[in-house]
Amino acid sequence: MIDIDQANKTAVERMMAARPILRRIALARDVIPDMRDNLLLHAGPPITWERASGPMRGSIVGALIFEGLADDWESAVALVTSGKIDLEPCHEHNAVGPMAGVTSPSMQVYVVENVTHGNLAYSNLNEGYGKVLRYGAYSAEVIEKLRWMNTTFADLLNQALAAMDGLDIRALLAESLHMGDEGHNRNKAGSILYATKLAPFIVKADGSAVEKGKVLQFLGDNALSVLNPVMAACKAMADAGHGVEGSTIMTVMARNGTDLGIRVSGLGDQWFTGPVGQPDGLYFAGFSADDASGDIGDSTITETAGIGAFAMATAPAIVTFISGTPELALNTTLEMYEITEAEHTMFTIPALGFRGTPTGVDIRKVVELGIRPQINTGIAHKDPGVGQVGAGLVLPPMNVFEDALIAFANRYL
């Protein structure tokens, strides 16, 4: 008889023992397993062009233009519908990407190493605010910014990371959780910690002072600078808990704008999918819920690893961004303890007497209690090319947990 409790303990202990170090930046085609010239990675579970949401389509078009494989919307659509371009989930390549998460072979990606268990994880670079590829924008200015990030920005950061011998993202996260971040939608403290740690090495790197100034300004102004290294770190931690025989711990939760999918530690690489929810939140001036895309992005790897909405009690200021009250933030964390296996040994919440964050969703508890994992999220416009329109709260569909539990029973019981 399989000991599920013991398996879950093992899975979550492995997640918490993982120590993710940001090593370097490299071209996706050079480091991501099974990356190839005609492959685009995307957020969430598998998706076809035909079923893809507006922002996902916009990002795919932008990535093909960035790769030089298309010139405009029409030629990109012709190419992707010709069958010559493969679309596969980031998660199937040890990678994660926020929002549409589209990652193409020529993009630079962060390389994070879990030095405890040796596995690697990857994420693309964060473009900041405004018209950005991850929200489905693909205009010339978007592509130009990507090119700058892919060359000057990546080069200076890479020189700094080499001089620093890597950066411990778990330690950075532990610190930022004591500074009002929850690590998903609020990464203000983490991003300036990141900028501050890189700055002394960027200044000594090879390059022009003007470009170094631009890089430091960009890192400091973008309160999401560290989101992508954090996501790769969470992926490295969650993957460390994946593949434990008999475990009902969720190790992936991700959305592509159409479907949300989860994976479970003891159920291999099978996806359990259902329709994404519509986020409930605050909208930027001039936008409303009518403009919102369905829930999208791999950034729920943060909740999967025990931070994000699960750590909202430590980030009461976030409610000015995602809606709600500080009490809601507190109660969200308290509720997540009901469906998780452990309290994190490294990520603690001062306001709760330094209690560890709720970590490791047990799909048994989700189904039994009817409590779904809470998600903090940015909200994309439903049309390609527009960008972010707000931020809020959303839940995964219950069927993914029920389906996974049935599959678990069929396999093990």
Binding of a second copy by 189 (CB under 8 A) = yes
With beta carbons less than 8 A apart as the criterion, state whether 156 and 215 touch: yes
Candidate list 15, 69, 193, 311; residue touching a second copy; CB under 8 A: 193
22 Cβ neighbours under 8 A, 6+ residues apart: 110, 111, 112, 161, 166, 167, 168, 169, 229, 232, 233
> Nearer to a second copy by C-beta: 6 or 320?
320
Minimum CB distance to a second copy smaller for 185 or for 247: 185
Least Cβ distance, residue 65 to a second copy (angstroms): 30
CA 400 to chain centre: 19
> Which residue number, 180 or 243, has a Cβ lying nearer to a second copy?
180
Among residues 70, 154, 252, 319, the one that binds a second copy under rule CB under 8 A: 319
Q: How far apart are CA 223 and CA 176, in angstroms?
A: 12
Question: With respect to a second copy, which residue has the nearer C-beta, 137 or 156?
Answer: 156
Structure-block tokens of residue 326: 């500080």
**What gap in Å lies between CA 160 and CA 53, rounded to an integer?**
37
Of 62-70, 299-307, 347-355, 378-386, the segment contacting a second copy by CB under 8 A is 347-355
Q: How far is the CB of 181 from a second copy (least distance, A)?
A: 8
Positions 257 through 316 that interact with a second copy (CB under 8 A): 316
Pairing, β 355-361 against β 280-283: unpaired
Q: Rounded to the nearest whole angstrom, what is the least distance from the CB of residue 354 to a second copy in the complex? A: 8
Asked whether position 151 contacts a second copy by CB under 8 A, the answer is no
Of 6, 81, 151, 325, the one binding a second copy (CB under 8 A) is 325
With beta carbons less than 8 A apart as the criterion, state whether 122 and 31 touch.
yes
**Choice between 8 and 314, CB closer to a second copy:** 314
Residue 353's CB: how many other CB atoms inside 10 A? 7
Give yes or no for residue 235 binding a second copy (CB under 8 A).
no
What minimum distance in Å lies between the beta carbon of 348 and a second copy?
9
Among 86, 100, 78, 79, which Cα is nearest to 35's? 86
Binding track over 194-223 against a second copy, x by CB under 8 A = -xxx-xxxxxx----xx-xxx-xx-xx---
Considering the complex, state which of residue 217 and residue 345 has its C-beta at the smaller distance from a second copy: 217
- Cα separation, 233 vs 111, whole angstroms: 9
The reply to whether 317 sits near a second copy by the rule CB under 8 A is: yes
Cα-based angle 190, 359, 322 (whole degrees, multiple of 5) = 50
* Contact string (CB under 8 A) for a second copy, positions 85-114, x = contact: ------------------------------
SS3 190: helix
353 binds a second copy (CB under 8 A): yes
Are the C-beta atoms of 233 and 169 separated by less than 8 Å? yes
How many Cβ atoms are within 10 Å of 213's Cβ, its own excluded? Answer: 12
Sheet holding 375-380, edge to edge: 280-283, 388-394, 375-380
Contact footprint for a second copy (CB under 8 A)? 175, 178-181, 188-189, 192-193, 195-197, 199-204, 209-210, 212-214, 216-217, 219-220, 316-317, 319-320, 325-326, 350-354
